[in-house]
Amino acid sequence: MLKNELSCICWRNSKYEKHVLSDTAAKLYTEKFMTLESIAKQLNVNERTLRRWKAADNWKNRRLEYIKSKTTFHEDLYNFGRTLLESIKTDISNSERIEPSRLYIVTKIMTLLKNIKNYEDKVLNDKYSPEKASPREISPETIREIEEKIFGITYEE
């Protein structure tokens, strides 16, 4: 009887371990954009097993959904700008005074949208292509480029 109980416990642990490994591997693939080869090495799991898990749990779709959820700031900004513009149009229709700051914000949003969309597309392409290694930190040049192109901050040299 003890032997059966032990095999049952081992089987449960094995099934639990498989579930944990599968979830961990999916997260590494989806959110860290690691290749199956590097995941296999890190988790000590056969690459063929990972391919099976990837197909069964639709990791590719999960990765795309993750990317989409992280790269929609331009849509939020667009919707905000559109709502603000609609309120300005309503105020104009009602012959109300329009605050200059609201007009300034709309024009600023319009100029930023293209830059933000381009940046998000670049990030999306960089993250989605597995052959590129993602840098561990942002270089000062990249920070300056983001500040200049997205936020409009310029520095005198």
pLDDT digits (tens, 9 = 90+) for 73-122: 777 888 888 899 899 999 999 999 989 998 888 888 888 887 877 777 77
Burial class from Cβ neighbours inside 10 Å (0-12, 13-18, 19+) for residue 77 reads: middle
pLDDT digits (tens, 9 = 90+) for 32-75: 888 999 999 999 999 999 999 999 999 988 988 887 776 567 77
How high is the pLDDT of residue 128?
Answer: 56
Q: Which positions ≥6 away from 116 have C-beta within 8 Å? A: 73, 74, 77, 150
Q: Say if CB 106 and CB 77 are below 8 A apart.
A: no
How high is the pLDDT of residue 49?
Answer: 92
**119 token code pair:** 């940046």
How high is the pLDDT of residue 56?
Answer: 93
Residue type, 151: F
Q: Considering the entire predicted model, what is its pTM?
A: 0.45
How many beta carbons lie within 10 A of that of residue 151, not counting itself?
A: 12
